[in-house]
Structures are given as structure tokens and as C-alpha cells.
Amino acid sequence: MGELRWNPVFKEWIIVAAHRQARPQLPEDFCPFCPGAPEVPTSDWKVKFLPNKFASLSMDPPNPISKNESLFQVKPAKGQCEIILYTPEHNTTLGKLPVEHIHTLIDFWAERYEIIGSQDFIKYVLIFENRGREIGVSLDHPHGQIYSFGFIPPNIQQEINSGNEYFQETNRCLFCDIVDREIKDGSRTVLENSDIICFVPFYATWPYGVHIYPKRHVQSLLDMNETERKNLAQILKEILLKYDKLFDMPLPYEMIFHQQPSDNKKYPNYHFHIEFYIIHRARNKIKYLGGCEQGGGVFVNPITPEVTAAELRDIKI
Ligand SMILES: [Zn+2]
Ligand SMILES: [Zn+2]
Ligand SMILES: [Zn+2]
């Protein structure tokens, strides 16, 4: 059972992927992403993609089981899911890889974003990584994922709308203005180099969740030159090393790339960035989404962003 169902109240698509429940329980010591595993026969690669065998979306989806009605709309779960292997090495992390290796990965992400996004049906390519058992990741091998949709995800759409409205009002890029403001202020900046800034947003929802922006107004990785990509690799490495020192443990995180849609339209008021979601607020304390957040959509951040930014900034790596 896999289909897209339309929520007419929130006006957004829900993926029903009941077949994913049938995912096999793998033996404890077997890693399907290590060289030698059936899908990864060799080790002569630096980074690599694999189709996601237990995907929520596929380019050849079954017909929906539910009937399509005007109130309860349903569509095939068409899209593409793939796994990005960061390295053949099992016992390492993205942050521990050399900057050049992360740079290679950034080039590879850009290439996959372009190739997947060039398919007619695909309107949005979402690159992300979930790391850590606390957030449900069962495989430790360093890897990320790419989900590609036939529609623009609501969070991205909201950012596009805000960017467009702000431009109408001011003739400026909303995101460039946020970046400039953070550079001027500095109190929430965690890391910065000539091309990239990493800060805890003024309006952070998760205490330790940073946002990373190219300082130049670019819409995706494809617009970034080699120096900018290398500087992005450097910042990614440093924030990930800081995260693992924060509570002296491999910190679970979600890392999401917000790039412009791949629907062949122009998004001149959009600005590429990376967002981190960190559920921990202390070593043994996880911030769960409560009624206020889940039910009201109002986040309560228990720690001031200026405080968490200073804490992250001061961690020596
Ligand atoms: Zn492995
Ligand atoms: Zn901008
Ligand atoms: Zn965003």
C-alpha cells in the first residue's frame, strides 16, 4: 500500500507508505552499505548512490487503492528515493572525513540534484541526512538520502512565498538580509569564512539547530563555484565536529538542503541554505514536540539562541 493523499485542511500531500513496515530486520553485524555487500560489491569509489529499496516513492508506483474523490484526493506515490553513501568506510562520520572528501560529496550532491531534477515529473529534489538511532536511523554507515517529489514540499513553498513577498516590499532578498543582519550582529554566529556563514537563527525552533548560508545570493549548489563549495565543506566539517563535542557523544541530527525547486521555473528571490534540526537540549535531555508545537504550530525554545550559539562557538575542535 503506497499512495499520496491530499489533506484539504492543511492543503498538503501525505505519503502513505504502509509497505515500509515490511522492511526486513537486518542481522546486528551486517551492513548493507559496506563494500562486499550485495548492492555494494566493490570499494573503488569515494561517494556513491544506491536506489532506496524500501522507498516511500517510486518512478513506477502502483495505482492507489483508495478512490480519487474531490474531497479526498489521491495520487500514485510517484517520485524517487535514493541513498547517498558518503564513504566506503564504516567506522567514521561525515565530520571526520577530510575537507577534500566532503568537497567531492558536495559536487556529487550537486550532480544528483541536477540529474534527478532534470526528469520531467520531478518538481523538487530534497537532499537530507538523518543521523542517530534516537531519530530512527538503524544503519550507522555514513549516508544520507535524496527524496524527489512531483510537487513542492510545503516548507519550501512557504519560504518561496515569504521571499517573494519580501522582495515586493523591499526590492531585496529576504535571506540575504537575514545573513547581513547576522553578520553585523555576530552574537548568533557559530562559524564564518569568506563565503559561508553558520548561525543559530534569531527565531530558532530547536536550541542547537544551526542554519548555513552561502553569503552570495545563489539558489542551489549548482550556482556555487569551487571555492564556495570548498568553503562550505570546511564549515560543514567544523559544525559536525563541534556537534559531536557538544555533549561528548555522536549527536543525532537531521540536516536538510533547501534549494530551489526543479520545475524549470525561476526562483530569483530564493536563497539556498542548509538547516539542522537537533532534538537534544542537553546530553540526556531530548526536546519532544508537545501539544503547543504539534497541535498549535507554536514552538517553545527552552534556551536562548544567543546562549546556544556562544556555547557552540566556544567548542574547540
Ligand atoms: Zn558499513
Ligand atoms: Zn539572497
Ligand atoms: Zn529553509
- CATH number of domain containing 274: 3.30.428.10
199 CA to middle of ligand 2, Å?
Answer: 16
All residues with CB under 5 Å from ion ligand 1:
31, 33-34, 90, 141
Pick the range with the lowest mean pLDDT from 23-37, 82-96, 98-112: 23-37
Instruction: Identify the DSSP state of 307.
Output: H
Q: What's the pLDDT band for 144 if we cut at 50, 70, 90?
A: very high
27 CA to middle of ligand 2, Å?
Answer: 47
175 CA to middle of ligand 1, Å?
Answer: 38
156 CA to middle of ligand 3, Å?
Answer: 7
The count of C-alpha atoms lying within 13 angstroms of the C-alpha of 306, restricted to the half-sphere facing its C-beta, is: 4
Which bound ligand lies closest to the C-alpha atom of 159?
3
| Model confidence, pTM | 0.96
Which bound ligand lies closest to the C-alpha atom of 268?
2
Nine cell digits for residue 157? 513553498
Nine cell digits for residue 210? 544551526
Given the residues 143, 211, 271, 273, select the one marked as catalytic.
143
| Averaged pLDDT score across all residues of the chain | 95
For Cα atoms 110, 113, 115, give the angle at the middle one, nearest 5 degrees.
105
Per the annotation, the verdict on 143 as an active-site residue is yes
Domain that holds residue 301: 2-314
Nine cell digits for residue 182? 547576522
47 CA to middle of ligand 3, Å?
Answer: 25
How many independent structural domains does the chain possess? 1
Only one residue has cell 512565498, namely 161
What's the count of helices (H) and strands (E) in the chain, helices before strands?
6, 14
Q: What's the pLDDT band for 138 if we cut at 50, 70, 90?
A: confident
On the question of pLDDT at 21 being above 80, the answer is no
- How far apart CA 314 and CA 310 sit, in angstroms, is 6
CA distances from 81 to 78, 186, 247 (A): 10, 38, 32
